[in-house]
Amino acid sequence: MSLLAVSNLAKRYHRGSKPFPAVDDVSFEIGPAETLALAGPSGSGKSTIARLVLRLIEPDAGRIEFEGADLLALSGAALRARRARLQMVFQDPLAAFNPRATVARVLDDPLRIHGIASRAERPRRIAALLERVGLDTGLAGRAIHEISGGQRQRVAIARAIATRSSLIVLDEAVSALDVSVRGQILELLLDLQRQERIAYLFISHDLGVIRAVAHRVVILDAGRIAESGDARAVIANPQSAIGKALVAATPKLSRNRP
Amino acid sequence: MTALLSIRDLSVRYRRDGVEVAALKGVSLEITAGERLAIIGESGSGKSTLALAVAGLLVGSAKIDGTVEWKIPKSQTPHSFAPPSVLPDISPTRGEISSLAAGSPPATLEVAESGDGRAISPLEGEMSGRTEGGATERRSSAIGKTQQQPLLGRDIGFVFQDPSSSLDPVMPIGKQIAEVTRTHLGLTWREAYAKAQTLLDRVRLPNPEAALHAYPHQLSGGQKQRVAIAAAIAAAPRLLIADEATSALDTIVQAEIVALIRRLVAEDGMTLLFISHDIALAATLAERIAVLRRGELVEIGETRQIIDAPRHAYTRALLDAHLGLDAAPLLARQGASA
Amino acid sequence: MNRLRGFFHTSEAIAGVLILALLVAMALAAPLLFPGDPQAIAGPALLPPFQDWSLPIGTDRLGRGVLAELFHGARTSLAVGLAAAGAALVIGAVVGTLAGFAGGLIDEVLMRVTDAFQTVPSFLLALAFVSIVGPSLGVVVAAIALGTWTGPARVARAEVLSIRERDYVAGALVIGMHPLEIAFREVLPNALPPVLALSSVVVAAAILTEAALSFLGLGDPNRVTWGGMIAEGRAVLRTAPYLSIVPGIALVLTVLGVYLAGEGVVESTAVRRSLS
C-alpha cells in the first residue's frame, strides 16, 4: 500500500487577470522508504506540489491520501496531530528557522507539541537527535545563526525526524550547500531512510543529485507531468522534450582518469 | 599570449562584528588577454572577493595588501566623468584598481561570499551603499598615474548573481543599457538607444525593440540576466566578470546563459573571469581553472589538467563530490553495502 | 557592546539620554527631597523665585512650593506617559499581529475597528472618555492609550504580513504548532523592532496628552501634574509668569529628551540591521 497517494491535484494562480495553472492534474504515489524525486525547470510546479502535500496551501482540486487518511479532510487539531508524520526540510536552512531560535529550542518544539517526551526527558531526546544526525550535543545551546549551513541543515533533518515521521518533503534541501557538505547530507538522508524506513519527496532541479539518491523520478513541465519512471532509466533515456532538455543542460564532467 | 592583468600577493581582510576575517590570503595569478578563466571554490573561499577586487568594487572598510596590475594599452575612448545611474556598480570614480593602501572609512556594509547561492550577494551591499547617499566611499588611491586605469563599465563588465537587484526596478531596461553607452562611449541618446536595441538582440531577448521599454519586473529571471549581460558588455569592455551569474537560475536557463556568455566572449574577443561554485559548469566554459579554498589559491591550470590530473587533494575532493549523470549513484553504493 | 557604541554615536542621543536620566532622577528623588504632600502650603503665596532658599523657585497662589510640585509632577508625567505608551504598544502589537497573521475576516474586522479609532481625534477621544468615567490616574492612562494604539497596530500588521510569508512560519506550521503560538511566539517578537521604533513618538504624545488633560482640569485631582501647574499659573500669568513657564520648560525638555533618545535607539538598530 502506498504511503502517499496524490491524485488529480490542481492549483491555479492568478497572474494579473488571467489564471495560470501552477499544478495541473498531477497524480503520483510514494511507498514506504521510497524516494520519489520531482524534477523540472523553475515554474514547473515542483515547490507548489510540495506545499500542497504539506497543506501549507490548499488545492483547487484533487485528492491527497496519506497513511490511508484523506489529508484534505483534516483540519485543526487533527491536522496538526497528523503533521507529526509528514515533515519538511527547506532549501535555505537559515530562513527555515526563527532567527532568534537556538538549536535546542528548534528541536524542543516538535517534542513538546506532539507530547513525545516530558519536559524533564526532552534534553536527553534532543541530545540523541543531534547525535543521530551527526552533530555534537554541545551544539544544543548555540543560536541557529551561529552554526554553519551544513550544521543547520542537519538540525533541520533532526527536527523532521523528531516526531518519527514517515515522509519528509525535501524542497531543494541540498541545493544551497557546498558540494562537500552536500555529499554528507545525502549520505545522512539515505542512512536515515534505511534505518527508519522514511520516504522522501525529493524536489530538485539537479538531475545529478536526483540520479544519485532517488528511486523514481517525476519530470514536470508547466504544472503537468511530462514523464515519470525509474530515476536512472528516465535520466539515461528521457522521452519527453523537457526531460531531454534537462539532461542536455546538466553540466557534464567527463573525467579521464590517468 | 599577453597578460591582461596580474594579481600579486593579494590579501583582503574584512572586519565583521569586530573580528577581522581574512577573505583572501596572498593570491597571485595572471589573467591572459582573451582567455576564459574560471575561479571556483566553495562558500568562504574568497572567489567573490577576488572578483570584486579585480573590479575595484571592494568596500572601503576592506583591508587590502598586494597589487592588481593592469597591462592594458591606452584606451582610445575619451574619459567621461558623468556618473551613470544605470547600475550602481558602474561608476568611473570607483573603478580604479591600484596598489591598494588601507583606508578606513566607517564600515557601512558587509560583503559576504555568495557561494551557496543564498548568502548576501555583493550587489546588495552595493545597493545599500548607494541608498545611503550616492557616493559610498570606495578606494580610489591610484598608483601609477602614468598607467591607464581601467574603468568599471567601460573596461570591465560585471554580471552579478541576482539580476533583480542589479537592475533598477523603476527604469526601462533600454534606458539602463543606453546610459552605459552614453556615459562610456559618449553616444547621443538616439545612438545609445539604437545600440541598446542591438545589444538586446545580441543577448537574444525576444522582440528587442519592444523590450527597450519593458521594466525588469516584466521579465523572467533568465531574461533579466540577459539584460544585465547586455548592460555589462554595452561599452565593449575588455574583461567580463561573471560572479555566480547563473547560480540563481534553473538548469536549462543556466545552460542558455552559459552558451550566451561563451558566444559573446568569442564574438567580442573579451577576456572572461567566470566565478562559480560548480566545477562541472566551470569546466564546460573555461580554458583554465583556478581553485580557491579559504582564501588561498589551491591550484591553477588548464581545464583538462585540473579535471583529469588534479595536483591537489582538495581539487580531487571537489571532483569526487560532483554528482554528474555518470557518477555511481549513492543509492546503489548504499544498497551494495547494506 | 556594538549597540551601545552605536547608540552613543550621536551627541543628540546622548543629550536625550541625559535629559531622561535627569527626569527619572527627579521623579525618584521627589519623595526623598520633598517628603510630605507637595500640595500642602509651604510658605507665603506668590513668593517669586530666588527669594527664599527653602523655596528656590517660589510658591504659587496658594503658597505651595513650585520646586516640590515640579519634582512630584515629573513622577506623574513619566508614570502616565510610560504606562499609556506601554499599553498602546502592547494593544497595538497584539491587534496588529492577530490581524496580519490571521488575515481574512479577522483582519478585516480588526482593521475596520482600527480605522474607527483612528478617524476620531485621539485627544477628543481621551477627553470624552475621562469626562464620562471621571478623572483618576488609571482612567487617564486608559484614555490616552485608547487614542494611540492604532499607529503601532498598523506598523505591526505590515511587518507581520511580510514575516508571515517566510519559510520559518511554514516550518512552524509543518511541525504542528498552533497558529496562536506561531503568531505570538514566532512572529510577534520578530515584528517588534519597527513597532518599538514608534515608542518615542507614542511616549511623547502620551506625556503631552496627559498635560493637556490636566490643563483642562481632567487630570487626577489628587496628584500634582505639570499640565495642572500651567493651568494654575494661567490666572496670574502677568504677575507671576514663572508659575507657567517653569513647568512648561520641564514639559518641553521631557518631550525633547524622549524624542532624541528614541531617535538614537532607532538609528542604532538601523545600523545593526544594515550590518546583518
Looking at residue C35, its pLDDT comes to 83
Q: What is the mean pLDDT of chain A?
A: 93
- Residue contact C168–A98, C-beta within 8 A: yes
Q: Is the pLDDT of residue B142 over 50?
A: no
Closest by CA to B36, choosing from B329, B302, B323, is B302
pLDDT tier for residue C36 given thresholds of 50, 70 and 90: confident
Residue B322 located in a structural domain: no
Comparing CB atoms, the residue among A81, A83, A114 nearest residue C174 is A83
Minimal C-alpha gap between C193 and chain A (Å):
13
Total number of domains in chain B:
1
Answer whether B116 touches A (CB < 8 Å). Answer: yes
Q: Once rounded to an integer, what is the mean pLDDT over residues A89-107?
A: 92
Q: Once rounded to an integer, what is the mean pLDDT over residues A171-188?
A: 93
Q: Is the pLDDT of residue A199 over 90?
A: yes
Q: Is the pLDDT of residue B118 over 90?
A: no
Residue B258 located in a structural domain: yes
pLDDT tier for residue B164 given thresholds of 50, 70 and 90: confident
pLDDT in tens, B73-103: 654 444 434 333 334 443 333 333 433 333 3
Within C149-241, residue ranges assigned H as helices are 150-164, 167-174, 179-181, 188-197, 199-215, 226-234
Minimal C-alpha gap between B92 and chain A (Å):
34
Looking at residue C38, its pLDDT comes to 81
Poorest-pLDDT segment among B123-127, B181-185, C24-28, C173-177: B123-127
Looking at residue A247, its pLDDT comes to 95
Looking at residue B109, its pLDDT comes to 34
Q: Which domain holds residue B268?
A: 3-276
pLDDT in tens, C220-246: 888 889 998 998 888 888 888 889 999
Looking at residue C111, its pLDDT comes to 95
Chains that touch C (3 or more CB pairs under 8 A): A, B
pLDDT tier for residue B72 given thresholds of 50, 70 and 90: low
Comparing CB atoms, the residue among C168, C176, C178 nearest residue A97 is C168
Q: Is the pLDDT of residue B24 over 90?
A: yes
Looking at residue C13, its pLDDT comes to 85
Residue B336 located in a structural domain: no
Q: Is the pLDDT of residue B193 over 60?
A: yes
Please report where in the chains the cell 533598477 appears, as a residue. Answer: B168
Answer whether C104 touches A (CB < 8 Å). Answer: no
pLDDT tier for residue B126 given thresholds of 50, 70 and 90: very low
Q: Once rounded to an integer, what is the mean pLDDT over residues C255-266?
A: 86
Looking at residue C98, its pLDDT comes to 95
Comparing CB atoms, the residue among A187, A232, A251 nearest residue B278 is A251
Minimal C-alpha gap between A219 and chain C (Å):
25
Poorest-pLDDT segment among B114-118, B186-190, B249-253, B292-296: B114-118
Which of C:160-199 have CB within 8 Å of A? 166-168, 170-178, 186, 189-190
Q: Once rounded to an integer, what is the mean pLDDT over residues A34-45?
A: 94
Looking at residue B241, its pLDDT comes to 96
Looking at residue B57, its pLDDT comes to 87
Residue B55 located in a structural domain: yes
Q: Is the pLDDT of residue C1 over 70?
A: no
Looking at residue A127, its pLDDT comes to 96
Looking at residue A180, its pLDDT comes to 87
Contacts of A95 in chain B (CB under 8 A): 118
- Residue contact B249–A42, C-beta within 8 A: yes
Q: Which domains does chain C have, with CATH numbers?
A: 72-259 (1.10.3720.10)
Q: What is the percent of chain C where pLDDT is above 70?
A: 94
Edge-to-edge order in the sheet of strand A167-171:
A86-89, A167-171, A199-203, A35-39, A216-221, A224-230
Looking at residue C4, its pLDDT comes to 52
Looking at residue B30, its pLDDT comes to 93
Q: How far is CA C32 from the centre of its chain?
A: 25
Residue B233's φ and ψ, nearest 5 degrees, are -95, 5
pLDDT in tens, A20-31: 889 999 999 999
Residue B290 located in a structural domain: no
Complex ipTM value: 0.90
Poorest-pLDDT segment among A109-123, B111-125, B169-183: B111-125
Residue B53 located in a structural domain: yes
Q: Once rounded to an integer, what is the mean pLDDT over residues A210-237?
A: 95
Q: Is the pLDDT of residue B197 over 80?
A: yes
Q: Once rounded to an integer, what is the mean pLDDT over residues B178-205?
A: 92
Find the angle CA(C51)-CA(C54)-CA(C58) to the nearest 5 degrees: 50
Find the CATH number of the domain harbouring B173. 3.40.50.300
Residue B331 located in a structural domain: no
Q: Is the pLDDT of residue C3 over 60?
A: no
Three-class SS of chain B: CCEEEEEEEEEEEEEECCEEEEEEEEEEEEEECCCEEEEECCCCCCHHHHHHHHHCCCECCCEEEEEEEECCCCCCCCCCCCCCCCCCCCCHHHCCCCCCCCCCCCCCCCCCCCCCCCCCCHHHHHHHHHHCCCCCCECCCCCCCCCCCCCECCCEEEECCCHHHHCCCCCCHHHHHHHHHHHHHCCCHHHHHHHHHHHHHHCCCCCHHHHCCCCHHHCCHHHHHHHHHHHHHCCCCCEEEEECCCCCCCHHHHHHHHHHHHHHHHHHCCEEEEEECCHHHHHHHCCEEEEEECCEEEEEEEHHHHHHCCCCHHHHHHHHHCCCCCCCCHHHHHHHHC
Looking at residue B93, its pLDDT comes to 38
Residue B61 located in a structural domain: yes
Q: Is the pLDDT of residue C132 over 80?
A: yes
